[in-house]
Structures are given as structure tokens and as C-alpha cells.
Structure 1
Amino acid sequence: MKAVQYREVGKGPQVVEVDVPEPGPGQIRLKVTAAGLCHSDWFVMDLPAEQYSYGLPLTLGHEGVGVVDKLGAGVEGIEVGGSYAVYGPWGCGLCHACATGRENYCPNAAELGIAPPGLGAPGAMAEYMIVDDKRHLIPLGDLDPVQTVSLTDAGLTPYHAVKNALPKLRPGSTVLVIGVGGLGHVGIQIIRALSQARVIAADLGEDKLALAREVGAHETLISGADTADRVREMTGGRGVDAVFDFVGAGPTLETARAAVAVDGHIEIVGIGGGTLTAGFFATPFGATVRAPYWGSRSELMEVLDLARAGAISVHVETFGIDDAVTAYGKLHDGTVRGRAVIVP
């Protein structure tokens, strides 16, 4: 079968031929119908050799959906031929976090060698993939797999962040969304679906701001050194009740710090490598700062229900598996509008 793999540190992705995997006891094999690309893939592939710890070769793709093709021994309750989304942040399944469906915060996964697909385990960017346990499959029902696949991360991650900040998103509140890429444009829709907050979106390009307005932002700004000052002007000097930074670089975190109101909230969603100093004389009184990771299994169910209700959708650009290297190049260059999806 064809697969998109990272095979040599510093060399980028390749399309290769590998054997079709066989499911072991308790495992499920999917015939992949769609796999999403993510900036996290480039974060991994850009790591220097001394920091890279994901194994080689690595089949990429932590966003995946597919049709069940074969069941391993002992698997029950999963329909062969059924369409499922893959919940990516796999945990041990036994700890308190996993028992509540919050496997994204499993404290034992790393020690046990458990890794998400595409981020250690073989991922979805192939014609077939193995899912380790049936609890990591969420039925798609009548949702279109190509339009849905990115919701497993680009929907789940912002949903998890927005849900945590909901107490701040009361009627009359204002939020700032920094970065209107694959996650940010879904994040805006989630904010609008779950609250009555006013949304200000900031990005470097007018094309991204046009997308922001298209998906529900009330106001938009070209990002720059004066973004926080302009946001404070738009809020009567008070600042915003919540900031969702989908970039996470040093300059955007500084914008978040300078724009957030007293008793406000900052969610650092992007993995741009920046850090934010918090505390007295660094952030406004009462302001909280959080770096969320992915989301829970129940939250993925809720995200898919929002999609079924028509409340959220993903703007996707599709590629065949043979064009995966080109797709990753566009992602790296920032020229993908919304989310790139491989359709094997």
C-alpha cells in the first residue's frame, strides 16, 4: 500500500510503498477514506536529531477517518464496513483521566510507550491504518469523511479550549482570535456556536481575514506591533475577556498578554514555540493562562454533533496521496486556505 512517511531527519515527507498492516488482538484495521495535514506534522519534522523522539520511519497523519476493514481477535461492538473517526490522543485506558475520556491528559502514556497515530504510532496518511482499541473510534454516521476528518484535531482542539473558557464568554463579552488558519477558522465558528461573545480576529493576511469574516468574526485586524493597542481601542480600553492564540509564537503571546482584560483568560493553542510570563506585573490581575492539549473523547462526539447540526464546518483543500509532498509544501508555506486533506 502507499503511505506518507517521514523517514530521515531533516528530509521532509515521502510517498512510499509499505506492507498492509494486520490487526492484532483487540485492534481494528481501517481502510482510510481521508487524512488531515497539520502544522504539528511540520513541528515534528523540523525537530533536530537530538530532539526527535517519534521513531523512524513514521507514517504521518494524526487526523484520520475510515471504513472498518478487518477486526482483530476479541473485538466486538464495531461494525465491519462502518465509517468511523479516529480519536487521536491515545492513553492507557486505566487511569482517572482515561476513565473520564480525557485521554489527552493521560499521565501514563509516555512511560508505557503509547503514542498517538502519526505522532509515534503509524498514522492515517496511508491506504490502511491500525487503531489500537475500539474506544478510539467514534461513528461518523452520515457525515462526509473528507469534510469531517479535520474535526478530529482542528475541531476538537479549539473546542476543548473554548469549552474551558466558556465562563468568560458571557453575553457582552469580547474575545480575540489570533491566527485564522486550520484551527482558528474552526475556533471562530465554535465560539459563535457556544456563546454570544463578540469575536475579533487577527492575522497577517487579508485572505485569512476574509475567511474569518466568512465563518463569523464580527471584526478583523491585520496583525502587527499595534494589534493589542487597536484591540483595547475597540473595547473602550478594557481589553478582551478571552484570547485564543492559534499561533503561539513570541509576538502573538505578547499581543495576548497586552490585549487581555483584568480577570481575563488566555488559551495558548498554537505550538509556535513562544512562552508567556505570568504573574504580578506581567499579566493583568486575575488573568489566567492555559496551554490546552487536544481534547477528550466525549468532546469529539460533541464536535461531530455540532457538525451534524450545521453549526461548524471545515474549509478543506483536497489532494491525492501521490500529491502529499506538494500538500505539505503548501502547508509549510502557509498557502492552504483552511485545512489540507489527503484522500487515498
Structure 2
Amino acid sequence: MKAVQYREIGKGPEVVEIDTPEPGPGQIRLKVTAAGLCHSDWFLMDLPEEQYAYPLPLTLGHEGVGVVDMLGDGVEGVEIGGSYAIYGPWGCGQCHACSKGAENYCPYAAEMGIAPPGLGAPGAMAEYVIIDDKRHLIPLGDLDPVETVSLTDAGLTPYHAITAAEHKLRPGSTAVVIGVGGLGHVGVQIIRAISGAKVIALDVSDEKLELATEVGAHHTVISDENAADRVRELTGGLGADAVFDFVGMQPTLDLSRAVVAVDGYIHIVGIGGGTLATGFFSTPFGAAVRAPYWGTRSELREVLDLAREGSVGVHVERYSIDDAVEAYAKLHKGTVRGRAVVVPNEA
């Protein structure tokens, strides 16, 4: 089968032919109908050799949906031919966090060698993918796979971050979204769907700010040296009740600190490598800084329900698996509008 793999440090992704996997006991094989590209893939591929901790070659793709085509021994309750979304942050399945469906915060996964597909385990950027357990499959129903696949990360991650600050997003409050790319443009929609907050979107790209307006931002601000003053003006000098930084670089974290209100929240969602000190004389009184990770199984169901009712959608650029390297190049350059999606089994 064809797969998109990272095979050599510093070389980027390649389209290769590998053996089609067979499911073992308790496992499920999906024929992949769509796989999403993510900046996290490039974060991984840009790591120097001394920091890279994943197996090579690695089949990419931690956003995936597909149709069940083969079951391993002992699997019940999964429909052959059924369409499913993959819940990515796999955990041990037994601890307190996993028992709540919060496998994204499993404290034992790493030491047990359990890794998400595409971020350690073979991912969905291939014609077929193996799922370790049926609990990691969420029925897709009548949702379109290509339009939906990115919600498994680009929807679930902002949803988890935003709902954790939902009590701050009362009517009359302000939420700032920094970075209106693959995750941020979905984040704007989620805030609008579940709260009465005013949304101010910031980005360095005019095109991405146009997208922010299209998906519901009340105000857009170019992210330059005047951005903090502009946000303060739009909030009557008070600042934002919640700031969601979907970039995570040092300049955006500094901007987050400059625009957050007293007793506000800063949620660092992007993995741009910046750090933010907090405490007296650093952040406003009562301000909380948090770095949420991915989301829970039940939250993925809720995100798909929002998509089903038309409250949340993803702007998608579609590619064949043969064009996946080109798609990754565009992602690296920051020229993807919304989210790039590969369709591995497209005729």
C-alpha cells in the first residue's frame, strides 16, 4: 500500500510503498477515507536527531477517518463497512484519567510505549491503518470524511481548550484567538457556538483574518507591534477574559500576557516553543496560564455533534496521497488556508 512516511532525520515526508498491515487480536483495520495534515507533524520532523524520540520509519497522520474492512480476533461491537473517526491520544485504558475518557492525560502511556497514531504508532496517512482498540473509534455517521477528519485534532484540541475556560465566556465577555490557521479558525467557530463572548481574532496574515471574519470573528487585528493596544481599545481597556494562543511562539505568548484581563485565562494551544512566566509582577492578578493537550473521547463526540448540526466546519484543501509531499510543503510555508487533507484511496 502507499503511505506517507518520515524515514530519515531532516529529510521531510516521502510517499512510499509498504506492506498492508493485518490486524492482530483486539485490533481493527480501517481503509482510510481521509487523513489530515498538522503543524505537529512538522514539529516532529523538524526535531534534531538528539531530540527525536520516535521510531523510524514513521507513517504520519494523527488525524484519520476510515471504513472498517477487517477485524482482529475477539473484536465485537464494531461494524464492518462502518465509517469511524479515530480518537488519537491513546492511553493505557485502565487508569483514572482513561476511565473518564481523558486518555490525553494518561500518566502511564509513555512508559508503556503507547503512542498516538502518526506520533509514534503507524498513522493514517496511508491506504490502511490499524487501530489498537475499539474504544478509539467514534462513529462518523453521515458526516463527510474529508470535511470532518480534521476535527479529530483541529476541532477536538480547541474544543478542549475552550470548554475548559467556558465559565469565562459569559455574554459580554471577550475571547482573543491568536493564530487563525488550521486550529484557530475552528476555535473561532466553537467560541461562537457555545458562548456569548465577543471574539477578537489576531494573525499576521490578512488572508487568514479574512477567513476569521468568514467563520464568525467580531473583530480582526493584524498581529504587529500595535496589536495589544488595539485589543485594549476594543475591550474598553480591560483586556480579554480568555486568550487562546494557537501559535505558541514567544512573540504570541508575550502578546497573550499583554492582552489578558485581570482574573483572565491564557490557554497555550500552539507548540511554537515559547514559554510564559506567571506570577506577581508578570501576569495580571488572578490570571491563569494553562497548556491543555488534545481532548477527551466524549469531547470528540461533542465536536462531531457540533459539525452534524452545522455549527462547526473546517475549510479544507484536498490532496491525493501522491501530492502529500506538496501539501506538507505548503503547510510548512504557512500557505494552507484552513486545513490540508489527503485522500489516500481516491481513484
TM-score, normalised by the number of residues in structure 1: 1.00
Shift of 1:234: 1.2
Alpha-carbon separation, structure 2, partners of 1:164 and 1:213: 24
Residue by residue over 1:253-287, the C-alpha shift from the partner in whole angstroms, topping out at 9 and shown as x without a partner, is 00000100000000000000000000000000000
Alpha-carbon separation, structure 1, partners of 2:289 and 2:133: 34
Shift of 1:113: 0.1
1:21 paired with 2:21, answer yes
Matching residue of 1:98: 98
Matching residue of 1:302: 302
Shift of 1:190: 0.1
Residue by residue over 1:204-251, the C-alpha shift from the partner in whole angstroms, topping out at 9 and shown as x without a partner, is 011000000000000001101221111111111111101000000000
Find runs of 4+ consecutive structure 1 residues off by over 3 angstroms.
none
Matching residue of 1:287: 287
Q: Which runs of 5+ in 2 are unaligned?
A: none
1:130 paired with 2:130, answer yes
Alpha-carbon separation, structure 2, partners of 1:226 and 1:106: 41
Alpha-carbon separation, structure 2, partners of 1:16 and 1:139: 29
Matching residue of 2:164: 164
Matching residue of 2:274: 274
Alpha-carbon separation, structure 1, partners of 2:35 and 2:146: 8
Matching residue of 1:241: 241
Give the secondary-structure state (helix, strand or coil) at the position aligned to 1:112.
coil
Alpha-carbon separation, structure 2, partners of 1:23 and 1:161: 34
Residue by residue over 1:179-226, the C-alpha shift from the partner in whole angstroms, topping out at 9 and shown as x without a partner, is 000000000000000001000000001100000000000000110122
Alpha-carbon separation, structure 2, partners of 1:267 and 1:129: 32
Shift of 1:77: 0.1
Residue by residue over 1:6-40, the C-alpha shift from the partner in whole angstroms, topping out at 9 and shown as x without a partner, is 00000000000000000000000000000000000
Alpha-carbon separation, structure 2, partners of 1:71 and 1:213: 44
Amino acid at match of 1:219: H
Matching residue of 1:59: 59
Matching residue of 2:177: 177
Amino acid at match of 1:214: E
Alpha-carbon separation, structure 2, partners of 1:48 and 1:225: 32
Alpha-carbon separation, structure 2, partners of 1:272 and 1:195: 27
Give the secondary-structure state (helix, strand or coil) at the position aligned to 1:5.
strand
Alpha-carbon separation, structure 2, partners of 1:224 and 1:210: 16
Alpha-carbon separation, structure 2, partners of 1:197 and 1:54: 40
Residue by residue over 1:38-67, the C-alpha shift from the partner in whole angstroms, topping out at 9 and shown as x without a partner, is 000000000000000111000000000000
Alpha-carbon separation, structure 2, partners of 1:341 and 1:166: 29
Matching residue of 1:44: 44
Q: Which runs of 5+ in 1 are unaligned?
A: none
Alpha-carbon separation, structure 1, partners of 2:235 and 2:20: 56
Shift of 1:122: 0.1
Matching residue of 1:188: 188
Alpha-carbon separation, structure 1, partners of 2:126 and 2:39: 18
Matching residue of 2:326: 326
Alpha-carbon separation, structure 2, partners of 1:231 and 1:184: 17
Shift of 1:96: 0.2
Bigger mean CA offset, 232-241 vs 88-97: 232-241
Give the secondary-structure state (helix, strand or coil) at the position aligned to 2:111.
helix
Matching residue of 1:264: 264
Number of aligned positions between the proteins: 344
Alpha-carbon separation, structure 2, partners of 1:82 and 1:251: 45
1:148 paired with 2:139, answer no
Alpha-carbon separation, structure 1, partners of 2:239 and 2:228: 8
Matching residue of 1:121: 121
Alpha-carbon separation, structure 2, partners of 1:93 and 1:205: 41
